[in-house]
Chain A
Amino acid sequence: MSEQVMALPRKRVGVPLAQTTWFRVLRYTLVRGITLFITVIIGVYLTVLIANMGGYVDEIRKGEIRENVAIQVMNDPALRALSPDAKRQLIEERVRIEERRLGLDQPFLIRSVRFLENALTLRLGFAQLMNSNSGSRQVRLILLERLPATLLLMGVSNLLIFFLSLFLALILSRQYGSFWDRVFVVLSPTSSAPGWFYGLFLILIFAAWLRILPFGDLVDAPPPENPLLYALSVAKHLVLPVSALVISSIFLSVYSWRTFFLIYSSEDYVELAKAKGLSGRAIERRYILRPTLPTIVTNFLLTVISLWTGAPILETVFNWPGLGRALYQAVGLFDVPVIVGSTVIFAYLLAITVFLLDIIYAILDPRVRVGA
């Protein structure tokens, strides 16, 4: 309230509106960005705590040190003449010095802050068993290599869910109580099942039974060389996982968004617009869709969070070579650095998604712009 009061005189003395608006949007975005970054820090710290209670983070770091030292000693021409025993001794000695230098003999509280810093800057150490496709042992490379596949899958499904739900919800709100409206109301409980669950059925129907779509994976094997054919192949492989995600959230989204539309279309100003004789389309766009959008974005945010949560399993079921599948493989191989690394990356991804939606929210919601 007070900010609004302050804002009024400013407008009066002739400060351009756009300037203050953008300043507010920027400030809101900045505050949200900082909040989200704090969230990431807490999430990663929690990860460090959970992983370290079993001493695993120490193991990661020590393994990394040992590997580096061993490579150094083995590749040093000056040391080639040493006997294997002497080399081993030298390695042990250097490992001890290095561990001291990195403070691995310090109390946990100090160390945990250092782990946190490493994790936040994505220095994730070396994998114990897994390799990236290029053969690297670095967890960061293993995970970054998987990132595009996950982003493709999640990006396509999120966009599809958002626009499809918006479109369907608008149509249904126009024909409240019709057959299709009731179908969506009745089917809304189906959204309690996660995407991978519908994925199982889709695989059974379209891959195993009808044999018209692939069981999983990103592209055909061997991958087509022509970029166009490659894209087509990826698109074909995308159909089932994306459909699974869409099916798992569309009914609830459409149902609740259509309810938002109905709530906003019973406002007095909509009645007034009708009385003024505005066209149905104009009313819908300016008087119903516009004020409902912030609510919808907030609602969509929760959907997106739950979609991200389910990603590892969906990727596992569809054999999709993304981050989630890396996490699944790491669990199977008990590759601790990769598990911790994936959790960190997931925390980042979730925060970035939420941040993007927050920016959209800030632009959409007039309350942010006028600073109410």
Chain B
Amino acid sequence: MQALKDALREIRRYPSAIAGLLVVILLVIFSIYVVITIPYQEAITLWRGGEGMWRNLPRTVPPAWINTFRSQKLPETIALDSRKGAAERQEKPLGEGKVITLLYTFDYQADDFPREINIFFETSFKDRSPFASITWYTPDGREIAIADTGLSAGSSSYRFAQDDKLLRRIRRQIGEVPVEVGLFVAPNPGENPRPLKGTYQVKVQITAFDPETQVDAELVVYGKVHGIAGTDHLRRDLKIALLWGAPVALAFGLLAAAGTTITTMIIAAIGVWFSGVVDSIIQRITEVVMMLPLLPILIMVGTFYSRSIWVILGVTILLSIFGSGIKTYRAVFMQVRESPYVEAAQAYGAGDWRIIFRYLVPRIVPMLIPNLVTMIPTYVFLEASLAVLGLGDPQLPTWGKVIQDAVAHGAAYKGFYYWILEPAFLLMITGLGFAMLGFSLDRIFNPRLREM
């Protein structure tokens, strides 16, 4: 206990140790918070929810806070749902059926064009499917006919950019621009088209052929920024993966590091205590295992058996038990074995295992702790490495998987820097935090190096 207190006092003398400790503590608090607010199952559902779950989010857009650093503000997503009363609704009977008018009004103040525009319908009717016509009103009073489309039962959608007729009309009236630009651009754009700021209106007029027809529609004008983390190619909010990456990385790193260092140490102690044949067998195994190609073997396990993070964790620990650490621990145990207190234990008749676990092992704990902490980043990065190779856990969102998605979709090439930088930054903070703490602890617990 006193030793621990001394160690803590010692830590205060190392700025890098304090920084590392701070990062580690923050990470732990952060992870606990994440696991409580977004439970495991919910995280998986959110991450694997598919298009429906993230329908209202734009694809591959950077986080919203980058607007703070920009003079040209990028638009945020505007989603107006008639079910939530975001549209003015009028219903007029017409013959046997009725006419439903949904009028959406929104204010557009961004300096850039939106990414895309969609309308999602939710329809129910008796025999004949209703018919919708969509009209666009710009702030300067122009009226652009968008489309006339039949609505099928259940969910359906109208995607502005995929309508060739609309695109041709825009080309005729406005010029060679994409649909979402054509609808927002100020008249006579010239070289550098800018969106027209002001209040836009979209009218959806639905002609129904029976009075029971129900239609609701959601207009989504996708922005070019989203949330605190941005989105990926599947419209998923990266926040989920970045948040959940922390507990996964911590759990994997801690368990793997603890699993390997502790077993390695115990095996080294057993080898030294029993010496002779046992020791030389352990030594030979270590020499062999040290040179096994760890990553290709993990890749094979991941490919042939299971990509579950826990299986990979188990195999990693199994393959690292006879790691290079054994040599280091062995050297120390050799000295400890000769100490008088071990001899005393033998004299009073302590058994082999008692001596190993009660006399040898505790003596080496000060050396073990820095090693363990230093090993954590290695395993955090190992998990990320596997994920980057496409062997990440199939269910859990992790930082490595985000990087893999980004690399696989050419994020660097296409300029989606946030997509790589965010998870990489978190990985670096985690890795550096543990490494800095571990290196300082090593200097504190093993003062021979400090003197140098």
Contacts and interface: CB of A to CB of B under 8 A. Distances in A.
Given A54-B305, A192-B431, A331-B299, A201 B424 contact: yes
Interface in B294-351: 294-297, 299-305, 324
A339 B304 CA distance: 10
Given A193-B377, A193-B428, A313-B385, A186 B304 contact: no
Interface stretch (A8-16, A157-165, A272-280, A343-351): A343-351
Interface stretch (B105-113, B133-141, B161-169, B409-417): B409-417
Contacts of B377: 192-193
Contacts of A46: 292, 297
A292 to B, nearest CB: 13
A38 B292 CA distance: 11
B412 A203 contact: yes
A332 B299 CA distance: 11
Contacts of B391: 331
Contacts of A197: 381, 384, 424, 427-428
A308 to B, nearest CB: 7
A86 to B, nearest CB: 37
B297 A50 contact: yes
B297 A188 contact: no
B403 interface: yes
Contact of A53 (B295, B303, B304, B424): B304
A343 B391 CA distance: 16
A310 B386 CA distance: 10
Contacts of B420: 200, 204
Given A54-B304, A193-B381, A328-B389, A343 B291 contact: no
A312 interface: yes
Interface residues of A, number: 58
B385 A196 contact: yes
B287 interface: yes
Interface string A265-290: 00000000000000000000000000
A263 to B, nearest CB: 6
B293 to A, nearest CB: 4
Q: Is the interface of A mostly helix, strand, loop or mixed?
A: helix
Given A50-B301, A203-B412, A316-B389, A189 B293 contact: no
B299 A339 contact: yes
Interface in B391-420: 391, 403, 407, 412-413, 415, 417, 420
Given A50-B300, A189-B20, 9 more contacts: A53-B304, A192-B381, A194-B385, A204-B420, A208-B413, A327-B299, A331-B303, A339-B303, A347-B293
8 contacts: A50-B301, A53-B305, A197-B428, A203-B412, A207-B412, A312-B296, A317-B388, A327-B299
Interface of B: 16, 20, 287-288, 290-297, 299-305, 324, 374, 377-378, 381, 384-385, 388-391, 403, 407, 412-413, 415, 417, 420-421, 424, 427-428, 431-432, 434-436, 438-439, 449, 452
Interface of A: 35-36, 38-39, 42-43, 46-47, 50-51, 53-54, 56, 176, 186, 188-194, 196-197, 200-201, 203-204, 207-208, 215, 259, 262-263, 302, 305, 308-310, 312-313, 316-317, 327-328, 331-332, 334, 336, 339-340, 342-343, 346-347, 350-351, 354
